[in-house]
Structure 1
């Protein structure tokens, strides 16, 4: 085969579809037996993604325009309101299944319940299954990518760990809103959140593992007990969780044997920890570079998939990530939220939460005679 994609998340399936559309033979493998199991993301799509990509509208919740930022005391939150829908929360199991069908319709083969076990010189091994040969491997296998290590590419070193509870709420009983709590006691280096899209409530926390002395499960349950904006649960509760890379896009993302996409590539906003928009954008570049390289054999094409170049375009957010990580006491968090109450602070917060610059635009890198277009 031409390309093996390891990981059937949004990045892997989107990349597979684009490669199959270029008449390459593509196979996707994932250790999960069902795409509805092991969902790790909250599934928040931002306005920029909704504007630029054709997402299945029936799988997206109502628009969210209000964001409330709380200090540890939970008193007097800073409310930011947009005149546009800024967020929509997706049914991610449904989105994955939709992406799977799109990949298969384009000609990719998707195989679930198969665990990647390693690769060398074009031979790919699986646990309990026959090996296959592939000209190129796309690592879409998450923040702790095994493919990255096997290919000698960079690996994520700076990680948050997150967990959340998802539960349905009675329709019409709440107003969609995004509640964010800055409190290093429950979310060291990040925040706790409740996002309510009018159909489901996602209650979560994330932070640096070293600061979570009592464990994330305990912190999540403690936060969920009195989280702001949390509606009373109705029906079964779903728990999610997993690592989130926040060190920025990795520098060395590609080699003649393969490349990385999605969380495996560190394609997550270092400040907001949002990864759905970056994974879609980088998947388009990854597919174009892969197809161009396989068509010509010219390794110079791989240089366009350069994480170092992408990192230079959001240095400010990497700096703000370090500042965020330095907020280690409730008093410092109270002071940080107080700074956002003024006009300049509100403007800065709105720029981060409602702006269009969450991830570098990769479209200029697609404009090249060497890049293969579908």
Structure 2
């Protein structure tokens, strides 16, 4: 079988399938997994509790979040008694995940650009086609595999961009700075966070507004962003589309299925995708293995996005409300509300709660008796 895309979802899914005894080829158009990274690499507590991520690749725990209005005055301060976030060295995470996948038996082929699939034959640019019984699309928010398999595609996005640069150690506990300002991040927010060695400064928002000057907005924000630290080395730029329409309804067919951003596995409200990517990849691997073992197309109903979407109604409504904050005055009022006891409770539930993504374990296929 074939997995297209060697991001976190593709690597994790391929490894789980290989551990189950399947023959897996994983391909990616990049020649190096250290390039083309599109995520800040913020892992939430729930992920850190449930998945085995190497501590050496994670920055110190983040317990404090500051939410600023456009004026940058009097931020809302939220403090947890637990480590809520840790920022990962994503090139290191990808290298670790690749090594783990290869140790499980996955064959990894980089520098292979997917062209299309038809009748079980997958074509690549400048390379021989490959026969595959089942194709898993882990090829990002604008998945070509999804279109070729006739599955659903993402239609609602925000667009993000980020600067990453080395910083001098401060010895202070890191803080997650969030700025709600439609002038620099229309429909979302700007952020500053560090992993003890690198600072991440980013903005994201509606594609139409960001397209008019995304780099300019990012550079302007980075010049006076709260919590910024002076670079001590080269600056790396990251960016790309982030699907925020929730998990897609039709995720699987007898020819393949989708994982990660291709499946819309991103929280509509917070735009966090690393936790759902791992959880949905586990489910996808279990469903795939069972389907290939039995040939029973009914098994694919265990990977039903429609059932999961019911859990997203509240987040999708909040996403629409968030996107509707178009003026600085409205953003100031929203942050003023967060200063109230009710506002602080709501913000803490969103930022520190355990419900960042629906529980997918209840959707796992029941093993069939021989």
Determine if the TM-score, normalized by the shorter chain, exceeds 0.5.
yes
Instruction: Give the one of 117, 120, 125 matched to 1:127.
Output: 125
The reply to whether residue 241 of structure 1 matches residue 239 of structure 2 is yes
What SS does the aligned partner of 2:266 have? coil
**Contact 2:286/2:365 (8 A) holds in 1:** no
**Contact 1:122/1:135 (8 A) holds in 2:** yes
**Contact 1:175/1:196 (8 A) holds in 2:** no
Alpha-carbon distance between aligned partners in 2 of 1:220 and 1:360, rounded to the nearest angstrom: 32
Which residue matches 1:253? 251
Alpha-carbon distance between aligned partners in 2 of 1:86 and 1:109, rounded to the nearest angstrom: 35
Which residue matches 1:62? 60
**Contact 1:289/1:371 (8 A) holds in 2:** no
**Contact 1:71/1:333 (8 A) holds in 2:** yes
Map 1:8-47 → 2, pairs under 5 A? 8-47=6-45
Q: 1:200 offset after TM fit, Å?
A: 1.4
Which residue matches 1:140? 138
**Contact 2:141/2:243 (8 A) holds in 1:** yes
The reply to whether residue 116 of structure 1 matches residue 114 of structure 2 is yes
Report Cα offsets for 1:132-158 as digits up to 9, x if no partner. 100000000000000000000000000
Instruction: Give the one of 90, 93, 96 matched to 1:92.
Output: 90
Q: 1:51 offset after TM fit, Å?
A: 0.1
**Contact 2:41/2:88 (8 A) holds in 1:** yes
Which residue matches 1:323? 321
The reply to whether residue 229 of structure 1 matches residue 227 of structure 2 is yes
Which residue matches 2:300? 302
**Contact 2:161/2:202 (8 A) holds in 1:** yes
Alpha-carbon distance between aligned partners in 1 of 2:243 and 2:136, rounded to the nearest angstrom: 18
Report Cα offsets for 1:310-332 as digits up to 9, x if no partner. 11012111110000011001011
Q: 1:212 offset after TM fit, Å?
A: 2.5
The reply to whether residue 187 of structure 1 matches residue 185 of structure 2 is yes
**Contact 1:61/1:197 (8 A) holds in 2:** yes
What SS does the aligned partner of 2:216 have? helix
Report Cα offsets for 1:4-37 as digits up to 9, x if no partner. 0000000000000000011110000000000100
Q: How many residues align structurally? A: 370
The reply to whether residue 218 of structure 1 matches residue 216 of structure 2 is yes
Q: 1:171 offset after TM fit, Å?
A: 1.1
Comparing 174-183 with 274-283, greater Cα deviation is found at: 174-183
Q: 1:219 offset after TM fit, Å?
A: 0.4
TM-score normalized with structure 1 length: 0.97
Which residue matches 1:150? 148
What SS does the aligned partner of 2:67 have? strand
Which residue matches 2:344? 346
Task: Supply the RMSD in Å over aligned alpha carbons.
Answer: 1.2
**Structure 1 alignment gaps of length 5 or more:** none
Structure 1 residue ranges (4+ consecutive) displaced by more than 2 angstroms after TM superposition: 172-175, 369-372
Which residue matches 1:271? 269
Report Cα offsets for 1:102-157 as digits up to 9, x if no partner. 11111110100000000001000000000010000000000000000000000000
What SS does the aligned partner of 2:93 have? helix
**Contact 2:88/2:195 (8 A) holds in 1:** no
Comparing 176-185 with 190-199, greater Cα deviation is found at: 190-199
The reply to whether residue 202 of structure 1 matches residue 194 of structure 2 is no
What SS does the aligned partner of 1:219 have? helix
**Contact 1:80/1:346 (8 A) holds in 2:** yes
Q: 1:367 offset after TM fit, Å?
A: 5.6
**Contact 2:167/2:197 (8 A) holds in 1:** yes
Alpha-carbon distance between aligned partners in 1 of 2:365 and 2:247, rounded to the nearest angstrom: 21
Instruction: Give the one of 151, 161, 164 matched to 1:163.
Output: 161
**Contact 1:11/1:261 (8 A) holds in 2:** yes
Which residue matches 2:279? 281
**Contact 1:6/1:12 (8 A) holds in 2:** yes
Alpha-carbon distance between aligned partners in 1 of 2:223 and 2:80, rounded to the nearest angstrom: 29
